[in-house]
Structure 1
């Protein structure tokens, strides 16, 4: 028989504690806000910085209020430091593990240390602190080999023998650890595999604001992708936690991985143009650069990033690496039927509305 939730003196359900690793990251900030808005959670935000630094909007908003009244606390915790994690997870019911190494840095040692060994530490800390549920932010890239396109891939797709970059390889290894940990000392686990995430606070929109007029198509321009608005990714995480918290749900989704997208597969370049159109660019870019032209450039840029190559006094932008070209020129679409049926997931913000919200937010920040 399940233990009934604690209630306060007024008969209302008492908020439980959860922790969000990498809590100051892009998606994690939206997750923290959603957890606080629900009223069901007190949130321990963990990240590398010795203290939390809020921007003016956060200071006056939900997170600032929650930090002041105790509904949220900040804890310094490096996922590579097990004692720090154990301290951060004390008294926590659920951990949302979003922390990850920067995917722009294609360094296998770094990614292995943070994404794989760090995830092992998170699991060990959860077991030590008797955390009930662990929701891991994985990636749709864990089934992508960078050679073959994916169209409507579902969770039966196996991990590839080779990966396009260190990020994808390490996320797959970490996901395996989380799946294997399900049922270990009563810890229940679930993995989310979001598609290409966008939304307020991402790094793509500021780039488009500055460089939209320079855009061109790489390859034949026919490849599709599965974009997902950040609030839908958050919603998927919350759906997974709620499902995992019931006996039947735990049997169904414990130790499983789920693709999470907007369920609106679209041409990659049409999506970028949709963003540019919202920014005021009226002319659709139609210059196409063949792959045989662009590939030699990627070898130079790959080398330049590794060597911190400086050209004309400026660090080269990390856009034309060989891994990025693979992501930008091959089909990568995923089937969310399993998440819909087993987690009750359904996108709450459409692609079109997500684009409008994202652009308006970015423009407001630039004013």
Structure 2
């Protein structure tokens, strides 16, 4: 406690997320906004807990405290937002907008955040200021609310990447995010990486989150030192090594295949690995398909082998010849009521999307959708008429040649598909106007 008494002023860096419940958007909120009954995520909840501790410590043994809530910090040296944006852009994932794209955000340049702390410390160091600011919280922003996706676009375009343009409804993304989160919870202990697509992340990307700095301005004397425009410019300039022209182009085929081992195998980037996989597929073909089984029979045999593997794996001791054997626990296959609810929501969402597509088909005004459905049904009919043996051979050949061909003639194929879609859209528009 003696060391505690030596600290006279404590400014805690909190977060505006302490007042965000993940459901309701926040527009120009001030510090009177209470903590929510339920937080959006663990980060927000622990930040709120820390705030309460800091507030309770105010006045003890001469300690003066206050909390700063900087909103969405950005700037040079950031190891999260900009690198993540660039990684998404290079993987072809930055073109998507979650929601309608009209949600506003308050971003704060890092130098302004530091200045907010300086203002708080100076205020607490004076007797009159301490009476005003001690034990309080303060939102700190650039005081320039901007559409979230517009800000992301400024960063991406500044680095030479395309701005997001394809809008995906939250109702479509949320069920998928719940499934991804559930999968991570089950398989994290086996080395699964933390997913970017989570329900809390979807809510953050699609809601309004703007905050008033009136209290900080009046009581701390805070004013942003760096404008949002200059902050974006400085940030972009500090990441010159992440510019698009400094990055080797990755084919769309590789991106579609995950840009990992699967892509290397299918696109023949690692010839040895590709040959090994082809030999393995040949073994599977020999054991499962040479007798001309139907697809269902072949899958039944494959599931039988899987069951046998799981049975033998379960019999193995936890330590085999000095090597630890990771056991699959039964709980990994259990589904809680909440998880079942999320999965049901996902299924219902997909069903509603299907119904919406059928309605559009019934109106007879979406030729592009009609083409997609027709081609899909054609593929299904062809596959269903084949034996599993033929489907396996043709599928393997198409995978290991089709993706490679697309990678080689990507621009030409994209141009042909684009022209075909344009013709269909024009044809559909002409038909609609004539009717």
TM-score normalised to the size of structure 2?
A: 0.52
Map of 2:138 onto structure 1: 258
Q: Distance in 1 between matches of 2:156 and 2:187?
A: 31
Q: Distance in 2 between matches of 1:329 and 1:287?
A: 14
- Mapped contact 2:123–2:220 kept (Cα < 8 A): yes
Question: Among 38, 43, 47, which residue is 1:167 paired with?
Answer: 43
Map of 1:305 onto structure 2: 184
- Mapped contact 1:222–1:267 kept (Cα < 8 A): yes
Unaligned runs of 5+ in 2: 247-435
Q: CA deviation at 1:141?
A: 0.5
Q: CA deviation at 1:144?
A: 0.6
Q: Distance in 1 between matches of 2:43 and 2:181?
A: 15
- Mapped contact 1:126–1:187 kept (Cα < 8 A): no
Q: Distance in 1 between matches of 2:112 and 2:72?
A: 12
- Describe how 1:179-328 pairs up with structure 2 within 5 A: 179-202=55-78, 203-212=80-89, 213-215=92-94, 216-281=96-161, 283-309=162-188, 315=192, 318-328=195-205
Q: Distance in 2 between matches of 1:172 and 1:317?
A: 23
Question: Among 198, 203, 213, which residue is 1:336 paired with?
Answer: 213
1:358 and 2:358 correspond: no
Map of 1:144 onto structure 2: 20
1:345 and 2:252 correspond: no
- Mapped contact 1:145–1:160 kept (Cα < 8 A): yes
- Describe how 1:76-115 pairs up with structure 2 within 5 A: none
| Count of residue correspondences | 240
Q: CA deviation at 1:363?
A: 1.6
Unaligned runs of 5+ in 1: 1-123
Larger Rg: 2
Q: CA deviation at 1:304?
A: 3.5
CA 258–270 in structure 1, closer or farther in 2 if over 3 Å, else same = same
What is the DSSP-based 3-state SS (H/G/I as helix, E as strand, rest coil) of the residue aligned with 2:239?
A: helix
Aligned structure 1 segments of 4 or more residues deviating by more than 3 angstroms: 307-311, 314-318, 364-367
Q: Distance in 1 between matches of 2:121 and 2:16?
A: 19
CA 154–307 in structure 1, closer or farther in 2 if over 3 Å, else same = same
Q: CA deviation at 1:125?
A: 7.9
Q: Distance in 2 between matches of 1:231 and 1:310?
A: 39
Map of 1:114 onto structure 2: none
Q: CA deviation at 1:126?
A: 5.8
What is the DSSP-based 3-state SS (H/G/I as helix, E as strand, rest coil) of the residue aligned with 1:208?
A: helix
Deviation sequence 1:121-140 (CA, Å, 0-9, x none)? xxx6862x421011100100
TM-score normalised to the size of structure 1?
A: 0.62
Deviation sequence 1:284-304 (CA, Å, 0-9, x none)? 432111112111111122123
Q: Distance in 1 between matches of 2:76 and 2:198?
A: 25
Q: CA deviation at 1:315?
A: 4.8
What is the DSSP-based 3-state SS (H/G/I as helix, E as strand, rest coil) of the residue aligned with 1:263?
A: coil
What is the DSSP-based 3-state SS (H/G/I as helix, E as strand, rest coil) of the residue aligned with 1:285?
A: coil
Q: CA deviation at 1:359?
A: 1.4
Q: CA deviation at 1:319?
A: 2.1
What is the DSSP-based 3-state SS (H/G/I as helix, E as strand, rest coil) of the residue aligned with 1:169?
A: helix
More strand by share: 1
More helix by share: 2
CA 185–248 in structure 1, closer or farther in 2 if over 3 Å, else same = same
Q: Distance in 1 between matches of 2:184 and 2:218?
A: 43
Q: Distance in 1 between matches of 2:2 and 2:142?
A: 33
CA 134–323 in structure 1, closer or farther in 2 if over 3 Å, else same = same
Moved more, 348-357 or 150-159: 348-357
